[in-house]
Amino acid sequence: MTAPARLEVKDLRKSYGSVVVLKGVDLAVEAGQVLAFLGANGAGKSTLLNCVSGAQDADTGDILVESASLRGLNPRQVQDQGVAIIYQHFQVFEGLSVAENIFLGHEIRRGGRVDRRAQNRQAQELLDRLGVEDIDPRADLGSLGVGERKVVEIARALRLKPKFLILDEPTASLSDKEAKALHEVIRQAVARDGIGVIYVTHFLDEIHKIADQVTILRDGRILWTRPVGEVSIADMTDAISPDALMTGLDKTPFQADGAEMLQIEDLTTDFVGPINVALHPGEVLGIYGLMGAGRTELLECLSGAAPQSGGRLQIGGTLRRFRTPREAQDQGVALVASDRKEQSLFSSFSAVENLLVPHMGRSPMPRMLRNFNSEGLAFERAARRLNIQPPNPRMQGQRFSGGNAQKIMVSRWLIEGAEIKLLLLDEPTQGVDIGARHELYEALAEVKRKGTTIIVASSDATEICLLADKVMVLGRGQQVALIDNPHDEELLIELAHKAEHGTQQDVPVGEKEMGAMQ
């Protein structure tokens, strides 16, 4: 019997200038196996994946597929050697059909023209092979949910018959139900085609569902590799973030006190609404819905980044209609966008500039920031609070790992003197490691105690139930339900899926939701 194919990383080292990121990494995955590759933000996971995929070259060491070295190859050549990578950011396109996306760059041609029929047929075969029944190869990608889009990316990668597939946080913006379906697709690829998978995630509760082995990368070195059956979530948490204090959040039912801070009445944007909700100081509204349900557009509208087409928005009893984010900020409304590296991080600014930029040139500036010398102190506090790594105020924004960039973005509004009345957060823990996630929850609890109203949108129902005093479920831009003291994750998931895929009449509205519905 021949030994299964192996992808091996041997003593890999990589530095950026004087920053040593990979300090001699050894790793191996076999065909037919799923290896979960875990580590804190900044541990070096993306750097390692980039070296394997040919996006970057390591300094020393080797990467072998069945004894052939991948070092020095470009991404296309690495692909030709049987290694495919799927990044967290989607690389499929609306306006093209599913089949066109699958064959993008490798179109099937007949007589010089793209043979759409053949592409549709082969795309169908690929999807069938993955056990996917409800994606039509001819459908426009724009009509697909986010989980289905990931499946299309996987189908595209598998079309080239790779031996190994690397998945970087594939479930990051998926609901639990979509994640489950994606796991099934991955399992099919592993079982039927004997693919070996490296699976990067920050969601530890999916490890036991999908992986065979777990490897922990800590600070550029492999800490351990173990069979999944021999490790608990606590073992993994401890290995990833040994210093994190995982105390439970104190969640007492919210007691409204005094006047409402925020009143939204029949608010609409191009796609969303009408939205109706009122919130008190210190109250947290969770917005749950699938990607594309309108969560981001609603938050953008409230923060002045997207136009409001109708309805009323009152803050502190005063009617407002923001035309720019700056206008909203001047009234104490701030947004942490979901795609921070694209939308909010200034790549050439230093970390401290990125932290303080929204407060610069504002009048009045938060008191402690007027003194230039205290900038360093503000950064130091933020870095300590959310464990920003490296805690270097002068490092350029673009050099931070994804999770650490997110921590800087959130910290903008947590700094002393920021005086935010309404804090809007879109997927605040996406890409954030397990330790920092708890630190972030604690920081939000503190902001809440100080009386800031918070609206948090998330595709993680557990997170919503943990943080929110009230939850609004959105589907196709519509407010489907408003529920007080949410604790039933399954109900949220069910409501969101029904609203997105079924008809409005299908949405089950229990007594509780009915009472809360506006």
Ligand X SMILES: Nc1ncnc2c1ncn2[C@@H]1O[C@H](COP(=O)(O)OP(=O)(O)OP(=O)(O)O)[C@@H](O)[C@H]1O
Q: Which residues bind ligand X (CB under 6 A)?
A: 16, 19, 21, 39, 41-47, 389-390, 399-404, 431
Q: What is the SS3 assignment for 5? A: coil
Instruction: Collect all residues with Cβ–Cβ distance below 8 Å to 317 and sequence separation of at least 6.
Output: 259
Q: Compare residues 43 and 444 and give the one whose CB is closer to ligand X.
A: 43
Euclidean distance between CA atoms 174 and 36, whole angstroms:
18
**DSSP-assigned letters across all residues of 394-460:** TSBGGGS-HHHHHHHHHHTTTSTT---SEEEEESTTTT--HHHHHHHHHHHHHHHHTT-EEEEEES-
Q: Name the nearest CA neighbour of 53 among 43, 44, 61, 63.
A: 63
Using only C-alpha atoms, what is the Rg of the chain? 24
In whole angstroms, the minimum distance from the beta carbon of 14 to ligand X comes to 9
Q: Compare residues 390 and 451 and give the one whose CB is closer to ligand X.
A: 390
Q: Compare residues 120 and 406 and give the one whose CB is closer to ligand X.
A: 406
In whole angstroms, the minimum distance from the beta carbon of 189 to ligand X comes to 24
In whole angstroms, the minimum distance from the beta carbon of 68 to ligand X comes to 25
Euclidean distance between CA atoms 483 and 472, whole angstroms:
7
> Nearest 5°: CA angle at 46, between 347 and 152?
100
Q: Compare residues 358 and 390 and give the one whose CB is closer to ligand X.
A: 390
Q: Compare residues 45 and 497 and give the one whose CB is closer to ligand X.
A: 45
Q: Compare residues 431 and 486 and give the one whose CB is closer to ligand X.
A: 431
In whole angstroms, the minimum distance from the beta carbon of 394 to ligand X comes to 12
In whole angstroms, the minimum distance from the beta carbon of 120 to ligand X comes to 36
Q: Using the CB atoms, write b or e for 152-167: b if 16+ within 10 Å.
A: bbbbbbbbeebbbbbb
The two three-digit tokens of residue 492, written as one number: 């949220």
In whole angstroms, the minimum distance from the beta carbon of 352 to ligand X comes to 15
In whole angstroms, the minimum distance from the beta carbon of 70 to ligand X comes to 18
Helix axes 146-159, 116-129, angle to 10 degrees: 100
DSSP alpha helix (H) spans, 110-213:
116-129, 146-159, 176-193, 207-210
Q: Compare residues 327 and 339 and give the one whose CB is closer to ligand X.
A: 339
In whole angstroms, the minimum distance from the beta carbon of 248 to ligand X comes to 24
Euclidean distance between CA atoms 212 and 230, whole angstroms:
10
Q: Compare residues 45 and 156 and give the one whose CB is closer to ligand X.
A: 45
Q: Compare residues 33 and 46 and give the one whose CB is closer to ligand X.
A: 46
The 470-475 sheet, strands edge to edge: 333-336, 422-426, 453-458, 284-288, 470-475, 478-484
The two three-digit tokens of residue 266, written as one number: 């029949």
In whole angstroms, the minimum distance from the beta carbon of 386 to ligand X comes to 12
- Nearest residue to the partner ligand X, using Cβ: 403
Beta bridge partners of 196: 164
